[in-house]
Amino acid sequence: MKLECEIFTADYSNTPAYRVFVNGELMTERDYVIPPGELGHYNFMCHLDLPTGENKLEVKGVSHHFDIGTMWLDDKQINHKGGVFQI
């Protein structure tokens, strides 16, 4: 399945690092680099197998706060509450 989400932070000028977890498993750790012309958000995407039922995507900043925006599963927008969503 293709899982995608928007990641936001208010303070992106110092290229803060963040970690993305899905169901408690670390998916990636990256520096938050905004492409020219963007305003403080980034789209994260990964391909993975997800179990039926409740799943959770978390974004944890190493030194900054991050928020999750819109999420998509296989290119269809999904509802979530704090990164928790149902399949």
pLDDT (mean) for 4-28: 87
CA distances from 30 to 16, 27, 44, 52 (A): 9, 10, 10, 28
13 has pLDDT over 80: no
Residue 69: both structure tokens together: 């925006």
**For the whole prediction, is pTM greater than 0.75?**
yes
The range of the structural domain enclosing residue 76 comes to 2-86
Provide the pLDDT for residue 36: 67
CB 40, CB 8: distance < 8 Å = yes
Provide the pLDDT for residue 62: 86
> CB neighbours of 77 closer than 8 A, spacing ≥ 6?
70, 71
32 has pLDDT over 80: no
- Give the total number of structural domains in the chain: 1
9 has pLDDT over 80: yes
SS3 60: strand
